[in-house]
Copies of this chain bind each other. A is one copy, B any other.
Amino acid sequence: MTAADARSRPGSLTVVGLGPGDTAHRTPAVSAALAAATDLLGYRTYLDLAGPFSDGQRVHASDNREELDRARHAFQLAAGGARVVLVSSGDPGVFAMAAAVVEALDNARDPAWHEVALSILPGVSAAQAAAALAGAPLGHDFCALSLSDNLKPWAEIERRLALVCEADLVLALYNPRSKARPDQFGQALRVIRAQRPADTVVVLGRDVGRADESLTVTTLAELAPAQVDMRTVVIVGSSRTRRIPRADGGCWVYTPRFY
């Protein structure tokens, strides 16, 4: 196919989720899409996890977090005939690239973007990987909330936290704490502690599925903000979540199916 042919019809854009990191938890559909791509876009850390790529594949690594810019770049390339893969960690549909991609399409700068063959391939999200390692803390009703106030007012985050605590859901908290906003996680904890007992089980999963993974089981009383960063997913148990000893000295955490 010549370059002129390629430009004569729109290409494809596939948004993929790598899962937690380890290729053992990456779906075959995602691996096949990565192998077939002519162009790969993503945050550099995720592209490093997704590679290596072949010489004929163009890799467009980004060091910034401007998700909408990256989505637009992906559509531009795809509208020009490329087979583009946009790489997310976890599940692209859960606090990752899929929403930015559909948002870019909703505000398309070029009608040709609508002709691009768009597909989204799901993956295992960070909270699921951490939960599996801990036992079954998400075994009953739960919510997934982002604590980032980049795109959402902090007051709304606190309001939601109070309501889901009242609903006695297990909480999976994404983007819990960053260098740019080191104090907000403490504020979130105050909201949660006002409604949940001190001995509520908390699971911290950091880089689960990667070489330096760690899993910490603690309680709401003992949890310190310094234990948490942007690479941590925080699972706060409901009133029913339990921990039981493991033969190896650790513990299993689960939320019973019954209420």
Chain A residues with a Cβ under 8 A of chain B? 19-20, 22-29, 32, 67, 91-95, 98-103, 105-106, 114-115, 118, 120-125, 128-129, 131-133, 135-146, 151-153, 156, 159-160, 163-164, 166-169, 242, 244, 246-247, 252-259
In the bound complex, residues from chain B placing their C-beta under 8 Å from that of A99 are 136, 139-140, 254-257
Copies in the complex: 2
In the bound complex, what is the Cα–Cα distance between A136 and B15 (angstroms)? Answer: 11
Is the beta-carbon distance between B146 and A144 smaller than 8 angstroms? no
Partner of A247, one of B23, B29, B115: B115
- Chain B: CB-nearest residue to A149: B259
Partner of A142, one of B20, B22, B143: B143
Is the beta-carbon distance between B144 and A141 smaller than 8 angstroms? yes
Q: Distance (Å) between the CB of A227 and the closest chain B CB?
A: 22
Q: Distance (Å) between the CB of A28 and the closest chain B CB?
A: 5
* A95-B140, A102-B253 known, 12 other contacts, Cβ within 8 Å: A25-B28, A25-B29, A91-B132, A95-B139, A98-B135, A98-B254, A99-B136, A102-B136, A102-B244, A105-B252, A114-B247, A124-B124
In the bound complex, residues from chain B placing their C-beta under 8 Å from that of A152 are 140, 258-259
Is the beta-carbon distance between B256 and A103 smaller than 8 angstroms? yes
Is the beta-carbon distance between B163 and A103 smaller than 8 angstroms? no
- Chain B: CB-nearest residue to A16: B132
In the bound complex, residues from chain B placing their C-beta under 8 Å from that of A151 are 257-259
Q: Assess A168 versus B160: contact at CB under 8 Å? Given A27-B27, A124-B123, A259-B151.
A: yes
